């Protein structure tokens, strides 16, 4: 049974992780509530990310540009490129996310969910968690 993790307007339904794919990939469905966004723009040096729109519409900032992801569309985020996303719409949006190779795993999302569940999350701790798992916090250009 897939594990579901909720993080401030985001819900991740983990389908596969590095643990059950021998490090080949991480794969999860992500639902983003209206007006929710990725908490911190970042990049990763050790994996690439592919995203496929399943429902609704999201806006991704990738490097210097913005891309709308709609149902049936996909986008590719190469390692090293700063990115973030948001849902500007009035309805939830869902996408399928595949990270290759699978080096992130589910524990990162568990730790972030626990940190952001507090009333006053420590942003320095958020950055430390991100870096420990191979994500590099970065401002968008």
What pLDDT score does 141 carry? Answer: 60
Which pLDDT tens digit goes with each residue over 29-88? 999 999 999 878 999 999 999 999 999 999 999 999 999 999 999 999 999 999 999 999
Residues 112-138: tens digit of each pLDDT:
999 988 888 888 898 999 999 999 999
**pLDDT on residue 139:** 76
- In this model, does residue 16 exceed pLDDT 80? yes
Decide if pLDDT at 27 tops 70. Answer: yes
Q: Is 135 helix (H, G, I), strand (E, B) or coil?
A: strand
DSSP character string of 47-90 = -EEEEEEEESEEEEEETTEEEEEETT-EEEE-TT--EEEE--SS
- Which tokens go with 114? 């626990």
Domains in the chain, CATH or no CATH each:
3-137 (2.60.120.10)
Q: What are phi and psi of 82, to 5 degrees?
A: -70, 135
Q: What is the pLDDT of residue 140?
A: 65
Tokens 């994500």 correspond to 135
């Amino acid at each position: 049974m897939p594990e579901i993790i909720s993080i401030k307007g985001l819900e991740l339904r983990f389908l596969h992780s590095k643990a059950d794919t021998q490090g080949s990939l991480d794969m999860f469905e992500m639902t983003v509530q209206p007006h929710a966004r990725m908490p911190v723009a970042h990049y990763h040096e050790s994996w690439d990310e592919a995203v496929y729109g399943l429902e609704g519409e999201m806006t991704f900032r990738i490097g210097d540009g913005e891309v709308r992801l709609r149902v049936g569309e996909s986008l590719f985020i190469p390692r090293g490129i700063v990115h973030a996303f948001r849902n500007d719409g009035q309805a939830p949006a869902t996408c399928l996310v595949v990270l290759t190779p699978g080096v992130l795993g589910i524990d990162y999302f568990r730790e972030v969910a626990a940190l952001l569940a507090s009333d006053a999350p420590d942003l320095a701790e958020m950055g430390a968690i991100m870096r420990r798992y191979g994500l590099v916090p970065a401002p968008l250009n």
